[in-house]
Structure 1
Amino acid sequence: MRGLSRKALAEVEERFNAVAATADLGSLAEQLFAVADLLDREHGLRRNLSDPARPAEQKADVVRALLAGKVGDTALEVTVAAVRARWSGAGDLPDTLERVGVMAAAAEAESAGRIDDVEDELFRFGRILAANPELRRALSDPAIPSERKRDLLAALLDGKAAPSTLRLVTQLVVHPRGRSLETSLEEYGWIVARIRERLVGVVRSAVPLGEEQKQRLAAWLRVTYGREVHLNVEVDPKVLGGFSVKIGDDYIDTTIAGRIEDVRRRLAG
């Protein structure tokens, strides 16, 4: 993506990360895919919603009127963030919604402890296609109805692969968006790998952290762990002051409540 679209993509991903934690991630993935597919089909709508000359709030109102009651609140919020952003090209809008749909499916697998499986299964499915030209032709043939392709994929993968893998492979087969299956598998695999390599930190603070504070904390954690760390911030007045960060089994506590508890333990000892 070029200039404006790179910035817009970062904004949409940031909004997705902020709101996705409490969502049904599988449903969120399906809904974001559905919106991307809608914008692929409706060229006029896609042009209007990605037009940088149109007021952002006007485009947001169009999306709310169009999608309210048809997708969940989280999918709607992510889509509104996408149409409010400024894009270099109209096609970058559905591309980004598809991308965050893949992120949702990857996060679904991560929460189930199966993200390594999904990454491996996407790679192995690509090898299966390379070794079976007839299967590849059947899944790529636009004359074959989508339901037949879904049934074929279910027979191949249901119960044999992670649900997120079946979800992703079904999306790229039924809605190839002008790409080859091999290209789509590589793109999806790259996004899943990116999520797999990301650490998630849960921050508890007495007050909401400002954007600059979050960026400084994320930068420090990135240097400390040598990997990107996505922060989920929880406001909890009981911490009194300061903040705590939990990353996996690691716990960093700078809260006043934590210091008081430490003093109590020492006195008790």
Structure 2
Amino acid sequence: MHAASRATLDQLSASLDSVLTGSDEAAAVGAQTGADLFEIVELLDDNRDLRKTLVDQGYPSDRRVGLVETLLSGQVSATALATVSAAVRSTWSDTRDLRNGLIELGRRALLRAAAAQGQKDRVGSELYQLARLLEKEPELEMLLADRLASSEDRRGLFAKVLYGKVSSITEALALQVVGRPSDRPVEGLDAVCDFAAALDGKTVARVRAVAPLSEAQSQALGQKLEKIYGSAMSVHSEVDASLLGGAVIRVRDEIIDGSTAGKLEKLRRNLA
């Protein structure tokens, strides 16, 4: 995202947080705002001329806001309308930055709602597990990434997979990812998982272990990684019996391979 757009998004994020954080109605308002912002993105995706007009600095800001209010008044929540009005009054480098900015604000609102419900950790874990599910089911991921299929069909397919298995907020976040994917669905889900952790000032540690980690083990590992990387950690793990023993840990782009399989492979290379 360009610098001007990032500055705008930072301001809008702070404003949205001030509305949602600490409010008695944060859960309901955040969930509705997030859903509405995703719907507004859909509207922009389907209307190229509207997107261009809303970022055109040659078009008076009051008229841009008036256009948004005419289109959306009575159709979305007051918080969503205020957020979008502030967005189009501000400066964006291009239509892509406006679109991505509204998506990030929608995700932010939903995750603030999850925090207000005491479900933030659950949502982060569910997003991580969904990404791992798609890694293990490449045919499903291929269908969800099929750009020849309509966004409604992709969402409908994934909704059937998710039904009754995840929280409503996780479902909303995941369906937005597959609706109009800009990356592989796995990468999109991992990006939202990272974003969820970052809202709490944390970094995601992705762990593959030969056996499930207990809560105590996850906490101890998180504390050790925090000392190494200088950041609080959100530890997500999965079982991988192929490791034979130990674990493989990925933090950002760095991999720590402490698995038995990894040690054997290193020994083979040294003997070759």
User: Is contact 2:53-2:59 (8 Å) kept?
Assistant: yes
**Corresponding pairs, count:** 199
User: Is contact 1:15-1:81 (8 Å) kept?
Assistant: no
Q: What does residue 95 of structure 1 align with? A: 100
Cα RMSD between the aligned structures? 2.2
Q: What does residue 127 of structure 1 align with? A: 132
Q: What does residue 195 of structure 1 align with? A: 199
Q: What does residue 41 of structure 1 align with? A: 46
Mapped pair 1:183 → 2:183: no
1:91 counterpart SS class: helix
Q: What does residue 123 of structure 2 align with? A: 118
Q: Which ranges in structure 2 are unaligned for 5 or more consecutive residues?
A: 203-229, 232-272
Q: Deviations over 1:4-44 (max 9, x none)?
A: 11111112112212333445222211110011121122111
Task: Quote the offset at 1:151 in angstroms.
Answer: 4.0
Q: Deviations over 1:88-110 (max 9, x none)?
A: 12211111111010111111211
Q: What does residue 25 of structure 1 align with? A: 30
Q: Which ranges in structure 1 are unaligned for 5 or more consecutive residues?
A: 199-225, 228-269
Question: C-alpha distance in 1, partners of 2:85/2:142?
Answer: 37
Matches within 5 A, 1:257-268: none
User: Is contact 1:60-1:80 (8 Å) kept?
Assistant: yes
Higher deviation after alignment, 179-188 or 16-25: 16-25
Q: Deviations over 1:122-151 (max 9, x none)?
A: 111111111111111222223445454444
User: Is contact 2:141-2:186 (8 Å) kept?
Assistant: no
> AA paired with 2:198?
R
Q: Deviations over 1:134-180 (max 9, x none)?
A: 1112222234454544443333223222221111111111222x332
Q: Deviations over 1:171-221 (max 9, x none)?
A: 111222x332133213212221122348xxxxxxxxxxxxxxxxxxxxxxx
User: Is contact 1:116-1:196 (8 Å) kept?
Assistant: no
Q: What does residue 8 of structure 2 align with? A: 8
Q: Deviations over 1:228-254 (max 9, x none)?
A: xxxxxxxxxxxxxxxxxxxxxxxxxxx
Question: C-alpha distance in 1, partners of 2:86/2:3?
Answer: 18
User: Is contact 1:37-1:94 (8 Å) kept?
Assistant: no
TM-score calculated relative to the size of structure 1: 0.68
Residue in structure 2 matching 1:169, options 171, 174, 179: 174
Question: C-alpha distance in 1, partners of 2:156/2:64?
Answer: 37
User: Is contact 2:29-2:79 (8 Å) kept?
Assistant: no
Identity of aligned residues (%): 32
> AA paired with 2:95?
A
Question: C-alpha distance in 1, partners of 2:178/2:150?
Answer: 11
